[in-house]
Structure 1
Amino acid sequence: MKTINFMKHYKLWFAFSGAVILIGIIMMLVNGLNLGIDFTGGTMMQVELTQEVSVQEVKDLITDFNLDPDVVHSGVAKTGVIIKTKQSLDNAKRTEIFNVFKDKYAIESKDFSADQFGPSMGTEIRNRAIISVLIASVFMLIYISIRFETVFGVAAIICLLHDVLFLIAVYAITGRTINSSFIAAVLTIVGYSINDTIVVFDRVRENVKRDRSKDYFSLINTSVTQTMSRTINTSLTTLLVIGALFVFGATSIQEFAFPLLVGVSVGTYSSIFIASPVWAVIRRYIGKNSHYATK
């Protein structure tokens, strides 16, 4: 198999990722993230209309309330709608909205329900997600350091942070809503991304044992070339399934599938073009020469 020179343009890969993350940070500073009611608090109303009604029609129906709502279908037949607004609506306002639907679609009180959310719920979800990622990162660093070496662990954690920041940047740039599904997707991506990275690192370690005379960058080119087909095939299979969920799934499933699509794609990219070059650069920097130094 002909070895591909992945390291030839490693600075370009670093620049691309850095540019996307930087643009995302700028967008966050200027516009902020589009946080859903899971994080901001607000009201969620679920209405069973007994018929399929377009999202736009529902928005037009309640436009006078100035809710700036997020409306999605619910149910297999899409006869219901879920209306989320960041405004906290009292009982009188909810009753007014119910009467609008009642007059239009002749629904009954059992077809309408509303729940109030406070921002503390979103804060707890966010804090637990951050703690989970930090704990996972620590244990991954310990495991990889024992199984391989500390530099491998550092490179893996940098790659992990890259994937999370890249995904957040995509949401900041596109303005998509960040909710609890996003948090669940991030935690899923963390596990998937590190798996791909370890596969590449395992091959690097094997090649190091075979030939210690090779330059770090040459080792990476050989190792990534050897694992390329496995990485692409695994990721492509996963993306096909997630893509089907995103295209054919209900709106709530699409909210979970989108960050997975982005995350798996970025995780595959970073395992090849970020994690491996980071390891090679660190080893070259701390080594006495351009060859692999044993522990």
Structure 2
Amino acid sequence: MEFFKSDKIYNFMGKRLPFLGFSSLLVIASLVILFTKGLNFGIDFAGGTLVQVQYEQKAPIDKIRDVLNETKYKGSSITEFGTPEEVVIRITNTSPDIANDISDEMHKILDSTGSFEVRRVDMVGPKVGNELREKGLMALGLSLIVILIYVSFRFEWRFAVASILALAHDVTIALGAIALVGVEVNLDILAAILTILGYSLNDTIIVFDRIREGVQTSKESILDKVVNESVSKTLSRTTLTSLTTFFVVVTLYLFGGEIINGFAFTMLVGIIVGTYSSIFIAASFLVQLKFSISDYRAKEAEKLKKQKEKDKLRAMYEQGTV
């Protein structure tokens, strides 16, 4: 299936600077939101206790809040969870005995609020939360380093730097959207961010692979024209892949329930931004880094020459002439 004509070349690089300017504004806005509003860390990273309660009737949130304010759990956050009958109580502190289940205690405290069932209790100590947050950031940083090494080895250092800049662009905007909406950041969101890295990198590598192929086979010596031709050829594939993934994630967001909404929202933002950066931004960074077609072709010719010499020596050795 082709959404775009395979023989038509779109002038992406002609509009490179406007797209880079637009992306810069998005990144700056995201950083401002992150530094001013900050991320809404869940109990996985901030520590605390989460209690999910389901009532037989509509949950009396105000009454629950009043009852809790008369106990040691004063100031707890109570929010509706998916349906009016279900609520989540977030307690910023944890029991000294982390292994102690507070379900029975919650049953006694909330007994006067109606008939209910405690469906879930999650407890994370502040020390464990800090460790999870640090290891999450370490996983993100190591992922970027490994990607940089891999792309440098497979392509050329300018391709690697361009791909890392594109990935940083995607992750920053995704985090800004999470902070703006107030999505609770937990291990699911970290998994979504790492998934975005892989998804965006896959699209970027396909575009770069086609650019490298174009540099080697095309008679063009102007990088902008080679990039336009290469990106245009991958446009239908990128669009089809992105739309397929997008519709699946939209279904998860709409019908997956409250517990998966944060993950699905993060993925939606990541798919949109990742597709946009693969088409308009990653190759633009490559052009901005002054990638030289002539130098690359000379290096490839030198590699080919050395490989032929090795093959010739090996053949002579096998024939007994060396």
Query: So what's the TM-score if we normalise by structure 2?
Result: 0.78
Contact 1:186 1:259 in 2 (8 A): yes
Match of 2:28 in 1: 22
Q: What amino acid is aligned across from residue 243 of structure 2 in structure 1?
A: L
- Matched residues in 1 for 2:52 and 2:14: separation? 55
1:94-243 counterparts in 2 under 5 A? 98-99=107-108, 101-107=110-116, 111=118, 114-243=121-250
Q: CA deviation at 1:101?
A: 3.6
TM-score normalised by the chain length of structure 1: 0.84
Give the Å deviation of 1:229.
0.5
In the alignment, the residues of structure 2 paired with residue 112 and residue 5 of structure 1 have an alpha-carbon distance, to the nearest angstrom, of 56
Letter of the structure 2 residue corresponding to residue 6 of structure 1: F
In the TM superposition, what is the alpha-carbon distance from 1:112 to its structure 2 partner? 6.6
CA contact (8 A) 1:207 1:219 kept: yes
Identical residues among aligned pairs (%): 37
Structure 1 residue aligned with 2:43, among 37, 43, 56? Answer: 37
SS in 1 for 2:220: coil
Show the counterpart of 1:267: 274
Distance in 1 between residues matched to 2:12 and 2:179, nearest whole Å = 29
For the residues of structure 2 that align with 1:125 and 1:157, how far apart are their CA atoms?
24
- Is the Cα–Cα contact under 8 Å of residues 52 and 80 in structure 1 kept in the other structure? no
**2: distance between equivalents of 1:186 and 1:52?**
37
* Residue aligning to 2:62: 60
Matches for 1:51-90 after TM superposition, within 5 Å: 51=56, 53=58, 57-64=59-66, 65=69, 66-73=75-82, 81-88=87-94
1:46 aligns to 2:52 (yes or no): yes
Unaligned regions of 5+ residues in structure 1, if any? none
Shift of 1:177: 2.2
CA contact (8 A) 2:80 2:86 kept: no
181-190 or 64-73, which moves further after superposition?
A: 64-73
Deviation at 1:107, TM superposition (A): 4.2
Q: 1:100 to 1:120 in 2, by over 3 A?
A: closer
Corresponding residue for residue 10 of structure 2: 4
Deviates more, 1:164-173 or 1:233-242: 164-173
**Displacement after TM superposition at 1:271 (Å):** 0.8
Instruction: Return closer, same or farther for 1:271/1:113 CA change in 2, 3 Å cut-off.
Output: closer
Name the CA shift for 1:73/1:85 in 2 (closer, same or farther; >3 Å): farther
Aligned length: 280
CA apart distance, 1:292: 4.2
Match of 2:262 in 1: 255
Superposition RMSD in Å = 2.7
Deviations 1:160-210 (A, max 9, x none): 111111111112223332222111101111111100000000110111111
Greater C-alpha radius of gyration: 2
**Counterpart contact for 1:283–1:292, Cα < 8 Å:** no
Tell me by how many angstroms 1:96 deviates: 7.5
Deviation at 1:256, TM superposition (A): 1.2
Q: Where has structure 1 moved over 6 Å in runs of 4 or more?
A: 93-96
**1:221-240 CA-partner distances (Å, limit 9, x unpaired):** 11111100100100100010
Q: Deviations over 1:230-286 (max 9, x none)?
A: 0010010001001000000111111211101111111111111111110111125xx
Read off the aligned partner of 1:59 and give its amino acid letter: I
The 2-side partners of 1:161 and 1:113 are apart by 36
In 2, the alpha carbon distance for the partners of 1:52 and 1:106 equals: 8
The answer to whether the 8 A contact 1:44-1:85 is kept is yes
* Deviation digits for residues 9-33 of structure 1 (CA, Å, limit 9, x no counterpart): 2122222222122122222332322
